[in-house]
Amino acid sequence: MRFVAVLLVGLLTLACTPAQPTNEAAGALVAVDDGWRSSSLEAEGLNAAAMVEVTEFIREDAHGDFRSLIVARSGRLVFERYFNGHGRDSLHDIRSATKSLTSAVVGIAIAEGLMVVAVQSAAYNTSYGQRRSLDVLRRVLAAVE
């Protein structure tokens, strides 16, 4: 009986100790042949402790809305985590998210002078036919303005 009591106290003590961040939490990547070059958070000048905090915040999210967090810097994958039962092969119903992201990126490019609003859209996308090449970028982005 004394052995069982000591065992229970030991397990309870162990369960109450704070968890230490693991390499997994800090962002150590699993090698996968997916075409991405990889690097570490530290090598790319990113704060690993901050990524541990973000990861823990996401894991504690009561709504369970987060599916993944992927960070790329300088063309290298430096952080990849999945949450709430999702994984690398999970499919995501993104609906119109791509349009929103594209609009934001184009807006930033225009603000930084990397794109000119009055240029024909064909200058940026040559896959349109002759008829569509006459559309100017201002029409394409009318909803953004």
pLDDT digits 0-9 by tens, 107-121: 898 899 888 777 666
Q: Domain locations in the chain?
A: 23-89, 97-140
pLDDT digits 0-9 by tens, 9-57: 444 443 444 444 444 455 566 777 778 888 888 999 999 999 999 999 9
- Answer whether residue 73 shows pLDDT above 50: yes
Q: What angle do CA 124, 125, 126 make, to 5 degrees?
A: 120
Instruction: Enter the pTM of the model.
Output: 0.51
CA dist 40 and 2 (Å) reads 48
